[in-house]
Amino acid sequence: MTNHQAKFRCALFALCALGASLLAGCSALQRHEGDAATAQGLAKIEHIVVIYAENHSFDNMYGMFPGANGVANATAEQKTQLDLDGRPLAHLPPVYTPAGKPDPRYPPNAAHPDPLPNGPFRIDLPPVGARIDEVVPSPIHNYYQNIEQINGGRNNRFVAMTTVGAWTMGYYDGSSQKLWQWAREYTLADNFFMGAFGGSFLNHMWLVCACTPVDKTAPASVHAQLDAQGMLKRKSGSPKSVLEGPVQLQDGRVSPDGYVVNTSQPPYQPSGIPPTAGGNSDFADASKHPVPPQTAKTIADTLSAKGVSWAWYAGGWNQALADGRQDPAAKRNVIYARGPGSPMFQPHHQPLNYFARFAPGTADRAKYMKDGEEFFEAIDKGTLPQVALYKPAGRLTQHPSYTDIHSGDIHIAELLRRLRNSPQWPSMAVIVTYDENGGYWDHVPPPTGPGWGDRWGPGTRIPTLIVSPFARRGYVDHATYDTTSILKLISRRFDLEPLPGVRANMGDLTRAFDFAQ
């Protein structure tokens, strides 16, 4: 190389470096301008409403939604379920009843003697033919089972670790449902994951605190029993194949190191544990080991610290409170009750009722924990707080085994109609999501790694709708979210202290909005 060529080459490198620096600077400026524009747009949102439904995976409810990452995109590995020995099943097992016996309503039965093929199937078509207005089986949806079902992202052990056999692989054509139409008009997020592995109790906690409750004094009898790989031990006599019956596991509501991961009762009424005979009727009987009062920081703490108005609204709250405060010998007619007129109130769906800040007699309990009827009134009057979290009564949550999909679909769609007619609608954002997948199969693996996942989750993918005058119209949002994304959105909008458990890399839902429209 000549001296002239060397000088030219050095100059070229310098120009390239300068260009790269300028490009990097432009990119940083664009990001800054984009962040500033988003912040200006978010300021237009004065009210955030969260509606928390129950127990359906994305594929189960929206696996046929146009433009979404649905069942048709599942790989052969994700669809092909493994037996307990790790080998592919020749076909799906029967649908099992809670007693572990084949359910005669579904194949194989006298009307349809052939078993269902190994893979996902339409629940609402023959030979199954279930309707959305009927009560259907509820797959187990516990912490350790969900981890094993996901199987490192392969999602091929849902049948092996369920209690309902084939049913876990079912999905609906939801196009006749009212919420499907709202999703088509506004934004549907198809890459939104439940915050924690497992069930409703833990995922309600993650909605308010992005944390897992602690009970270091729980009796040994309620601890899960794990093997050397950290999975649940099988009970003696458990079937060797799911074709013979559902697997039987040594599960418990508390992890070996004292974290409460499965359904457990709050220390205050309304609780599934009645009060002590002759004791304070506002408290659950401590001898029955409810979860001890929790003290971790919640979104309630950060909202209150900043002076942002908020409330937790629960369908059936006042009825359940009166029901729970009865003498322990009295029959419960509201809490976990299915009788005529009962809201089927579920105490483990009320996360703030586990926290010392909201103990009976506190000012915060009286101020912030409200009945669902107050939510409906505030919508119509235009008096909703800046953040409203709404939990429908049990019979309206769409939870399998004690209610149907149709009732909740009508209820939530009517709520959306009322919200859109509210005086506060022009400055409102509504998020409709589900607490967890209800044990139903989904094909998309949850994200993992630092900033994406941890010991607690995220778990399986769930449906989420964003409905707002600022929401993108007719849009499927493919950005990656989980339940903590809701906390991230609220915290960003109102400039709150971030909660420690919120996952750094998860989106904050701002992709779902177009503030220029």
**Amino acid code (one letter) for 195:** G
The structure tokens listed for 218 are: 């729980």
- Which residues, other chains included, contact 16 with Cβ-Cβ below 8 Å and sequence gap of 6+? none
The structure tokens listed for 21 are: 């620096």
- Return the H-helix or E-strand segment holding 474: none
- Which residues, other chains included, contact 254 with Cβ-Cβ below 8 Å and sequence gap of 6+? 215, 218, 222, 223, 224, 260, 261, 262, 264
Q: Using alpha carbons, list the distances in angstroms from residue 164 to 93, 98, 103.
A: 9, 8, 9
Q: Rounded to the nearest 5°, which phi and psi values hold at 370?
A: -130, 160
DSSP code of residue 498: P
For the residues of 417-455, what is the DSSP string, one character each?
Answer: HHHHTSTTGGGEEEEEEES--TT---SSPPP-STTT-BT
> Cα(299)–Cα(186) distance, rounded to whole angstroms?
26
Has domain 43-71+168-512 been given CATH number 3.40.720.10?
A: yes
The structure tokens listed for 372 are: 């669902």
- Please give the pLDDT value at position 13: 45
> Cα(320)–Cα(432) distance, rounded to whole angstroms?
24
Give, for all 517 residues of the chain, the pLDDT tens digit: 555 554 544 454 444 455 555 455 545 544 444 577 788 999 999 999 999 999 999 999 999 999 999 999 999 999 999 999 999 999 999 999 999 999 999 999 999 999 999 999 999 999 999 999 999 999 999 999 999 999 999 999 999 999 999 999 999 999 999 999 999 999 999 999 999 999 999 999 999 999 999 999 999 999 999 999 999 999 999 999 999 999 999 999 999 999 999 999 999 999 999 999 999 999 999 999 999 999 999 999 999 999 999 999 999 999 999 999 999 999 999 999 998 889 999 999 999 999 999 999 999 999 999 999 999 999 999 999 999 999 999 999 999 999 999 999 999 999 999 999 999 999 999 999 999 999 999 999 999 999 999 999 999 999 999 999 999 999 999 999 999 999 999 999 999 999 999 999 999 999 999 998 7
Let me know: does 359 contact 277? Beta carbons within 8 Å: no
CA torsion angle for 354, 358, 359, 362 (degrees, to 10)?
Answer: 180
> Cα(98)–Cα(438) distance, rounded to whole angstroms?
15
Closest CA to 192 of 203, 181, 202, 201: 203
Domain layout of the chain by residue ranges? 43-71+168-512
- Which residues, other chains included, contact 440 with Cβ-Cβ below 8 Å and sequence gap of 6+? 55, 56, 57, 59, 60, 139, 158, 168, 170, 171, 460
- Please give the pLDDT value at position 517: 76
Tell me the Ramachandran region of residue 310: left when phi exceeds 0, alpha when psi lies from -120 to 50, beta otherwise. beta
Token pair 């030979």 is found at: 127
- Please give the pLDDT value at position 516: 87
- Please give the pLDDT value at position 38: 87
- How many secondary structure helices (H) and strands (E) does the chain include? 12, 12
- Please give the pLDDT value at position 7: 53
Tell the burial category of 292 from Cβ atoms under 10 Å away from its Cβ (0-12, 13-18, 19+).
middle
pTM of the model: 0.93
Q: Using alpha carbons, list the distances in angstroms from residue 165 to 89, 92, 161, 414.
A: 12, 7, 9, 34
